[in-house]
Structure 1
Amino acid sequence: MAPSKTPAVELEVEGRTVRVTSPDRLVFPQRGLTKLDVVQYFVTVGAGILGALQERPTTLERWPKGVFEGARLSTRTDSTGDAFFQKRVPQGAPDYVETCTIAFPSGRTADEVCPTELAVVAWAANMGTLTFHPWPVLRADVDAPDQLRIDLDPQPGTDYADAARVAPELRAILEEHGLQGFPKTSGGRGLHVFVPIQAHWTFTQARRATIAVGRELERRLPDHVTTKWWKEERGSKIFVDYNQMARDRTIASAYSIRANPRATVSAPLRWDEVPDVHPDDFDVLSMPARFAEVGDLFAPLGPDRSGLPDDGYSIRPLLDLADKDERDHGLGDLPYPPEYPKMPGEPKRVQPSRDRDRPAAAADADVPAAD
């Protein structure tokens, strides 16, 4: 006889009743964390996670079977994984789940979940969502980014400590150009720095500004930082992933849970904490106490721009830096991701070791592919 199924649990979430089905299902077996634990975590850090998602079109990273050994995420080229990205609002969503229409580089559109209240987060968590991937736009204007997102991505041979050593120079570059950045752990090995910007720039301009920051960082720390798109050219450095500012590219939100055995979370930091912490310091069990102690360090990035003197920072100084790079150093655009249409001014999108037009000496100098 099959064991009886555990009854659903109903949670009151800011005036809404959210039903948690199979509440005792293990999501993180190594930590003993259940689906109910996951939903309650998001409710506990509710002001933070909602501030990160509110009014933003959001892709849901769903792990309905939990994070078990060997579990993997479906990709564009392999849809047979145990988890997947949900870019369109699921059928049967409650009527309080609002949506926003966004356009992909292919020209297709989708109605994505656009959280407006905490119950939406709890509902998504009940469906197995661990990581929320919000666009850097508000639904009032989905073509105008209001956040610059700088991803310090450790390459093989480097880790969080290497990203942390780069962070002070990144902070200095931003401040020299009149911007304030807000750091957070990625929840994995990397470090993210978000900048609240005025919402009248295009994705192309925001990406160009990010490239300018990356190149300046690369100039100052040439042995530690790279903006090379092709993995075979990066070496053991911190990659400034400028394409995270391309349309349809998203970064895990603050307070999102990452799908690893420890159930780490993406944790907002103070700048002086960056060199002293480790990503494993912040997980589903430890973050609620930290949140209660320090509050939402990412509040200035929310829709109401709490604590900012105006509506965000101008990226004009960074665009001027990009103009100077092009004028003085001949540095133009960099490659887009492979699924994007060819963009105006973009260089040849060919892996260097496969570029038949590249001089042999340059090809011989390539670093072996990391992957």
Structure 2
Amino acid sequence: MPLRPAAPAASRRALTALTYVEPCLAAEIGAPPKSGRWLIEFKEDGYRTQLHRHGDQVRVFSRGGHDWTGRYATVAQEALKLRDQHFIIDGEMVVPRPDGTCDFTALQIAVANKDSEPIVFRVFDILMREGADVRSLPLIERKEKLRALLAQRPSDRLSFCEHETEIDGHTFLEHAHRLNVEGLMFKLLGSRYRSQRTNDWIKVPCQYREVFFVVGYALDKGKFDGLYLAREQKRELVYSGKVEKFGVPRALVKPILAELDALVDGGRQLTSEVRKEKARWVKPVLRAHIVHRAGLGTTRVRHAKFECWAEPPTIAAPAFAKLIKPAKAHAPAAARLTLADNIMTELVEAVVPTGAQLRAHWRKVAKVALPYLARRPLTLVRHVDGVTFYHKGPLPPLPPAVHPLEIRKADGTRGIRLWIDSVAGLLGLVDIGVVEVHPWAATIDDIERPDMMIFDLDPGEGVEWPFVLETAFRLRALLAAEGFDCWPKLTGGSGVHLVTPIKRSLTHEDLHRCTKALAERLARNHPGRYTTTPGARHRVGKLFIDFFRNRRGQTAAGCYSPRARPGLPIAMPTTWRALEDGIRPNAFTLGGRRSDSPK
């Protein structure tokens, strides 16, 4: 049964004068791409905009396709001064600061007031030139056509978005952080303009972590609608924006409100008047770790996310001195919030190694482990304050070599997964209490398309190990008949994984459907001995052929990862010869190979 991707999308629509075109959208990845020929641009902190000119008519469309020509009147007038009369260009409306960064708050105010005087259109692509559709041209050629168009009448109002092609992406990202910009855009030099989200364009945001005072929260028709923040600047509290409700994990909302309700105070203590009809202002006692993209020390946060409570505040201003003592009273509850709401599943019977054992292990195996673990989103098993659990929710402060990746979760909200690419990253995971790592079947370079197929052979009660091995060879033969070459991995538990490298041509759901069909075919050929239905009650006396590992976001124990089980076993890649010899799934431990395991 060959694996096939989903049917291609409908063919591209022809361009029509003054009619909005669905834009090309970037995938979001937490790090520069590892390979490929990329063009790099600064990610502008503004409003995505499309400008059309047809003769003496100009239309300016918002990201959602709304006609905002009136809001960008000065930009539209500037477009009429170019010699070409038929073109479509794509970019971001921004309000630049003197240092070259963009002031998103000033842009919002200008657009709301229909004051386009401070607004600049930073243009990065062209869809039509002199009436001809140029979307199928390579990006680098489109950029040259765009440069030539804007050079007809140089203007600060219509600004060409410069790019780099020779600089290292990681070096440029460090530079972007120092400049306090929103992030970088990586675009394949030869890519076409496609009206969809595509991995030909990759957005790498600059993530900034700061500690803010929580000075209030919003209620919309009685429901939680976000947190209001403030910075301490020169002994005063300056309003610094809002964490929208989607930036606060759902599991944390009730505990956060319980903390804040005890501090409600109608007289907010900010340096300037802030009118928020939904606000319930609180005493500025609690501080929070916030991740955002607006740059450090800027006026308002952007795309902010609540991570966890910080330590009690220490405001130096005399007006707030009386609040320090109440803050200490709230610290224990905040600490409980951070741990309790991190627990997705507690592993009550877990046995965990010491930090020293884990560090020694990862230093020893890093060279062979990283090819299996590096640059993949990770599900984590952590051990914190005597509790071992699958982690969810806010993360502690991260070591430099441990990287966050923002992803879209199944419920449509945004979440963070961690990834590493070095021995320092593996050791950094130990520093935040990680015992086990479970990688995705896809890399951060394209999280939507897996590069491996996984079957987990999980025996139920009463199923002996020899039958698990027999099944592994049956499944191997079935996969070989379909043209796949799989390899076995000992799980460190009771089963074995069969892993098959595949081309990144399928979505997770495509792969899930195909592996489901293969698992059910094997089960039908041996009725009564297998199940493809999850749940302990379905696998009594049967072997569960788990194909669910191939769904988006599902993971499997990583190669060389310790397991929090008696004997401290390790998940290990193995050979078919070793399976023939009867090797056990927990044959390898942190102390070495078990003496009772077949050689």
**Normalised-by-shorter TM-score class:** 0.5 to 0.7
1:52 aligns with 2:339: no
CA deviation after TM superposition for structure 1 residue 88, in Å = 5.8
CA-to-aligned-CA distance 1:286-338 (integer Å, 9 cap, x gap): 169xxxxxxxxxxxxxxxxxxxxxxxxxxxxxxxxxxxxxxxxxxxxxxxxxx
CA deviation after TM superposition for structure 1 residue 138, in Å = 0.9
For 1:115, the aligned partner's letter is: I
Q: Which of 465, 481, 484 lines up with 1:179 in the alignment?
A: 484
The equivalent residue for 1:167 is 472
Q: Which of 500, 514, 518 lines up with 1:209 in the alignment?
A: 514
Q: Which of 105, 117, 135 lines up with 2:422 in the alignment?
A: 117
Contact 1:159 1:190 in 2 (8 A): no
Change (3 A) 1:258 1:33: closer
Query: Using the alignment, how far apart are the partners of 2:498 and 2:456 within structure 1?
Result: 7
Question: Which is strand-richer, 1 or 2?
Answer: 2
Contact 2:378 2:438 in 1 (8 A): yes
The 3-state SS of whatever aligns with 1:63 is strand
The equivalent residue for 1:279 is 585
The 3-state SS of whatever aligns with 2:425 is helix
Contact 1:159 1:189 in 2 (8 A): no
For 2:379, the aligned partner's letter is: T
Contact 2:491 2:586 in 1 (8 A): no
CA deviation after TM superposition for structure 1 residue 96, in Å = 2.7
The equivalent residue for 1:321 is none
TM-score by length of 1: 0.61
Matched ranges for 1:3-18 at <5 A: none
Larger-Rg structure: 2
The 3-state SS of whatever aligns with 2:454 is strand
Q: Which of 491, 503, 514 lines up with 1:198 in the alignment?
A: 503
1:40 aligns with 2:368: no
Contact 1:55 1:116 in 2 (8 A): yes
CA deviation after TM superposition for structure 1 residue 187, in Å = 0.7
The 3-state SS of whatever aligns with 2:456 is strand
For 1:208, the aligned partner's letter is: R
The 3-state SS of whatever aligns with 1:156 is coil
For 1:102, the aligned partner's letter is: I
Contact 2:453 2:501 in 1 (8 A): yes
What are structure 1's unaligned runs of at least 5 residues? 1-29, 67-81, 289-371
1:258 aligns with 2:563: yes
Q: Which of 362, 383, 407 lines up with 1:63 in the alignment?
A: 383
Change (3 A) 1:111 1:228: closer
What are structure 2's unaligned runs of at least 5 residues? 1-349, 595-599
Q: Which of 483, 494, 499 lines up with 1:189 in the alignment?
A: 494
The 3-state SS of whatever aligns with 2:586 is helix
The 3-state SS of whatever aligns with 2:429 is helix
The 3-state SS of whatever aligns with 1:280 is coil
CA deviation after TM superposition for structure 1 residue 159, in Å = 4.3
Query: Using the alignment, how far apart are the partners of 1:187 and 1:266 within structure 2?
Result: 5
Query: Using the alignment, how far apart are the partners of 2:419 and 2:382 within structure 1?
Result: 16
Report the identity percentage: 28
- Larger relative contact order (C-alpha < 8 A, sep ≥ 6)? 1
CA deviation after TM superposition for structure 1 residue 32, in Å = 10
Change (3 A) 1:287 1:121: farther
1:92 aligns with 2:412: no
Aligned-residue CA RMSD (Å):
2.6
The equivalent residue for 1:360 is none
1:132 aligns with 2:437: yes
CA-to-aligned-CA distance 1:104-150 (integer Å, 9 cap, x gap): 21112222111111111111123321210111111111111111111
CA deviation after TM superposition for structure 1 residue 230, in Å = 5.2
The 3-state SS of whatever aligns with 1:236 is coil
Change (3 A) 1:87 1:51: farther
Q: Indicate the larger mover: 197-206 or 104-113.
A: 104-113
CA deviation after TM superposition for structure 1 residue 214, in Å = 0.7
Q: Aligned pairs, how many?
A: 246
Question: Which is helix-richer, 1 or 2?
Answer: 1
For 1:100, the aligned partner's letter is: L
CA deviation after TM superposition for structure 1 residue 85, in Å = 2.4
The equivalent residue for 2:341 is none
Change (3 A) 1:32 1:219: closer
Query: Using the alignment, how far apart are the partners of 1:33 and 1:98 within structure 2?
Result: 24
Query: Using the alignment, how far apart are the partners of 1:223 and 1:101 within structure 2?
Result: 43
The 3-state SS of whatever aligns with 2:503 is coil
CA deviation after TM superposition for structure 1 residue 91, in Å = 3.3
